[in-house]
Amino acid sequence: MKKKRLSVEEYVKGVLNGDRVTLSRAITLIESTLSNDKKMAEKVMESILPFSGKSIRIGVTGVPGVGKSTFIENFGKLLVDMGYKLAVLAIDPSSQKTHGSILGDKTRMESLASDKRAYIRPSPAGGALGGVSAKTREAMILCEAAGFNVVLIETVGVGQSEIAVKGMVDFFLLLMLAGAGDELQGIKKGIIEMCDALVINKADGENIDAAKRAKREYSNALHLFQAKENGWFPKVMVCSSLKKTGLEEIWKMIEEYWLKMSQNGFFENNRQEQRANWMHEHIRYLLESRFYQDELIKEKIQHMLPDIKSGQQSSIAKARELVDLFMKTQSE
């Protein structure tokens, strides 16, 4: 049976009442690419925006296999047991429909997924990073308006998506493994610099000593970086997501950060900067997608490419020519 379409007011009322079914439908609406849905989604977002923001937003990243979903499952359980309402979202532009999104696999975070105090939403499959991250941001705002006061955003630690997540969270946590070499495990130095805490996971069984050693090494290495502008020095911790050890300490550290940053003004300052950046980022995304969707531009690009590739035409000059042409078609 086809579901009855909801009105903007029904979406807003349902989300603000914390109705999970309406929340899920509202997120589906903001993910839709149909232009009518987009218009409606904008109205919904406008109405609920004043009710959002009352949460702590935490990014969790790390290479596949480091234990992100195990961590989120047990850390999340700890949070809901403490009385928090938890939403878990993901950024994964690499996932295609056929592969499923990183949170899409039903076997992941099974107990958290069935817990009424938590809400788990897989990332939209595929798509450009700009689009996926804009949708994740809006989903986050919807979750907050629905009363969730801790938002965890998961991403795979392999590239651009960290920067997108960093741009939408208050606290950024990098999960790592001990004994995988001090080459920082293929994770770029830039990501280390972005994080507020580095957590060595799987500190259990025979791995405990190696994890403690790694903690010392990383602590020493981090001292080579400068303290952040907000006065926070990134912390290095160990935990076992599987055995549920070290998780409470991680939450205490995040609480300490939350308190300090609220007191020194950086919490709000960071959010203000993020809102401004989202606008600029979305302008770039919209301009780029409109440009590449334009039929005339598509055709021109196809036509020019062989000469660009062979070096007979200048990439720079042709890029300018195409943008000028696009601007002209827009003003007609």
Q: Which residues bind ligand GDP (CB under 6 A)?
A: 62, 64-70, 201-202, 204, 240-242
Q: Which of residues 59 and 62 has its CB atom nearest to ligand GDP in the complex?
A: 62
Q: Which of residues 134 and 191 has its CB atom nearest to ligand GDP in the complex?
A: 191
Q: How far is the CB of 144 from ligand GDP (least distance, A)?
A: 24
Q: Which of residues 87 and 134 has its CB atom nearest to ligand GDP in the complex?
A: 87
Q: How far is the CB of 180 from ligand GDP (least distance, A)?
A: 13
Q: How far is the CB of 114 from ligand GDP (least distance, A)?
A: 17
Q: Which of residues 53 and 122 has its CB atom nearest to ligand GDP in the complex?
A: 122
Q: How far is the CB of 199 from ligand GDP (least distance, A)?
A: 10
Token reading at 123: 């990332």
Gap between the Cα atoms of 272 and 45, Å rounded: 18
Q: How far is the CB of 157 from ligand GDP (least distance, A)?
A: 8
Q: Which of residues 99 and 228 has its CB atom nearest to ligand GDP in the complex?
A: 99
Distances (CA, A) of 146 to 19, 20, 190: 7, 8, 34
Gap between the Cα atoms of 297 and 307, Å rounded: 16
Environment class of 1 (CB within 10 Å of its CB; exposed 0-12, middle 13-18, buried 19+): exposed
Distances (CA, A) of 326 to 133, 303, 320, 330: 26, 16, 10, 6
Q: How far is the CB of 61 from ligand GDP (least distance, A)?
A: 9
- The backbone region for 61, taken as left when phi is positive above 0, alpha when psi lies in -120 to 50, beta otherwise, is beta
Q: How far is the CB of 310 from ligand GDP (least distance, A)?
A: 43
Token reading at 291: 């440009």
Q: Which of residues 85 and 202 has its CB atom nearest to ligand GDP in the complex?
A: 202
Q: Which of residues 6 and 180 has its CB atom nearest to ligand GDP in the complex?
A: 180
Give residue number: closest CB to ligand GDP: 67
